[in-house]
Amino acid sequence: MPQNKEAMKKISKLSVFGYGAGDAANSMIISTGNMFLLVYYTDVAGIGAAAAGTLLLVARIFNAFTDIAAGRIVDRVHSRRWGKFRPFLMFGFIPLLLSVAVFHVPDADPALKLLYAYCTYGLVCVAYSMVNVPYGCLVGAMTQDARDRARLGGARTIGGLSVGATLGFFIAPLLGAGHDMQQIFTWLTLAFAVVGSGLYVLTGAVCVERVAGSVPKVTLGQSIAALKANSPLVVLCLSSILFVTGTSATGAAQFFYLRDVLSRVDLFPVMAGAQVLITLTLAVLLPRPVARWGKRAVYSAGGALGVVGGVLVFLAPADAPWLGLAGLVLGLLASASVSILTWALIADTVEYGEWKTGVRVQGINYALLAATRKLGMGFGGGLVAFSLAWGGYVSGTAEQSDAATLAIRAAAGLLPGALVLAAVGIMYWYRLTDQKHAELVASLSRDAT
C-alpha cells in the first residue's frame, strides 16, 4: 500500500511545469519539422515536392520502428537513483543538434541533396525516439490520479503549443516577406538547441517517478503478452494514427493555404495567438467535462469539431478568409483537446495491461502509441506533398494554378476532415471508461496489500 498511497498524492506545480517544459523542448524538434520542413525542402533546398513527400513518409515510417525499439530499451533499463525514464532526458541535446544539420542541406547535385536529407532526418528520428519515448512514459510513472494525469496532459500540450505559437508569431511571417530563409532557420535551430537542452535537464530534475513497475526489467515475452491482452491500447492507436494524419496534414498545408489560397499569410500570427488561447483555456477547463462525461466522450466531441473545421477550410471562398480561418480554429480546438486526452488515455492503458497480465509495461505501450503518431505525421506530411505535386504546385510562383489551389484546399481541409471522422468512429470500440479504470486501479491496490 505505501507505493499506491504515494502514487495518489497530488503532484507539485513545479513537477507539472517541468513536465510541460519537456514537451516544449520536444516541439523545438518536431513542430519546427512539421511546420516548416516541407517548405524548407521545396523552397530553400530545391528538392521536388514529390521527392520531399516521399522522404517525409519514409522517415516517419522509419521513426515508428525506432520508437518501438526505444520502448523495448526503456523497459529493459532501470536506475535505482533516477528511475527508468529520467536518465534518457539528459541526452536531449543530441536530436536538437541534429535538427540544425537537417535545416542545412548543402547546395550540391540533386541526388546528393536528397541523400543528405534522408541521412540527417533519419538520425534525428533515432535520437528523438530515445528521448521522446521515455518522456511520454513519465505520466504513468509520476501519478495514478486521474485529475493529475489530466493536468500533466494539459501541461504537455501547453509546452508544445507554446513553441508552435512562437514559430507562428515570429517565424512564419518572415518566410513570406523576402527574407533569407536559410539564415532564419540557421539561427532558429541553433537557439532551440541551446534552450531545449536546458529544458530537458529541468524535466529530468523535477519530474520524480513515484509509480514503480511490477518488475524492474520487462522481458520481450512479457511485452508481447501485455500488448496482446491490451485491446484499449489497440483501439487508441488505430484512432490516433487517423487523427494525427488528418491534423498533421492541416498543419503542413496551413502555410500554403494562407499564402496561396487566401493570400493572407499575415493571418499566421492570428493562428498562433489562437493556439495559445485555446490551449490555455482547455488545459484549465478540460478536466471538468472529463470528470462529468469521461475521456472517450470528450475525445469524440473534440474530433467532431475537427470534422466541421475541415469542411469550412475546404469550402471557404478566397474572398472570405475569415471563414477559412474559422475552420482552422476549429481544427485547433480538435487537435488540442484530443492531444491532451491522448496522453491521459495511454497512461490508463498501462494499468489495464497490468490488471490483465500482472506486468506493468510502460515503455512499449507509449512507444506503440508514439509510433502510430509518427506514422500519422508522416502520412499527413506526405499527403500534402503528394497533393501539391498532383496539383502542379510551382515553388516561387506568385499565383498558383486552380488545380494547385484545389489540391491545397483538399490537403488542408477535406481529407483531414474525413480522417478525423474515421478516428472518432473507431473510438466507439474503446471500452476502458473512466469508471472501469478506477475499478481496476482499486483492484491493483488491493492485490498489492
Share of the chain above pLDDT 90, in %: 36
pTM for this prediction = 0.70
Please give the residue that has the higher pLDDT: either 308 or 448: 308
29: amino acid identity, one letter: I
Whether the per-residue pLDDT at 177 is higher than 80: the answer is no
Query: Which of 156, 154, 117, 174 lies closest to 31, judged by CA?
Result: 156
Q: Which residues are CB-neighbours of 146 under 8 A, at least 6 positions away? A: 290, 344, 434, 437, 438
Q: In this structure, what C-alpha cell is assigned to residue 206? A: 523535477
Q: Helix (H, G, I), strand (E, B), or coil: what is residue 79?
A: strand
* 61-114 pLDDT per residue, tens: 898 889 888 888 887 877 777 778 888 998 999 999 999 999 999 989 999 999
pLDDT band at residue 3 under the 50/70/90 scheme: very low
**pLDDT category of residue 143 using cuts at 50, 70 and 90:** confident
pLDDT band, very low/low/confident/very high, at 152 (cuts 50, 70, 90): confident
Distance between CA atoms of residues 145 and 351, nearest Å: 12
User: Stretch 196-200: mean pLDDT, rounded?
Assistant: 96
> If one looks up domain 13-211 in CATH, what number appears?
1.20.1250.20
Q: So what's the pLDDT on residue 220?
A: 63
Residue 140 CA from chain centroid, whole number: 18
Q: How far apart are CA 70 and CA 189, in angstroms?
A: 24
pLDDT exceeds cutoff 50 at 172: yes
Question: Do 166 and 234 meet the contact criterion of CB atoms below 8 Å apart?
Answer: no
Region 296-325: mean pLDDT is: 92
Domain locations in the chain as residue ranges: 13-211, 218-444
CA dist 343 and 111 (Å) reads: 40
Residue 131: phi and psi, rounded to 5, are: -105, -45
Distance set, CA 433 to CA 179, 359, 444 (Å): 51, 21, 17
Q: Could you give the CA distance from residue 332 to residue 305 in angstroms, rounded to a whole number?
A: 9
Query: CA-to-CA distance for 193 and 28, rounded, in angstroms?
Result: 8
Which of 105, 84, 67 has its CA nearest to residue 369?
Answer: 67
| pLDDT exceeds 90 at position 242 | yes
CATH code of the domain occupying 218-444: 1.20.1250.20
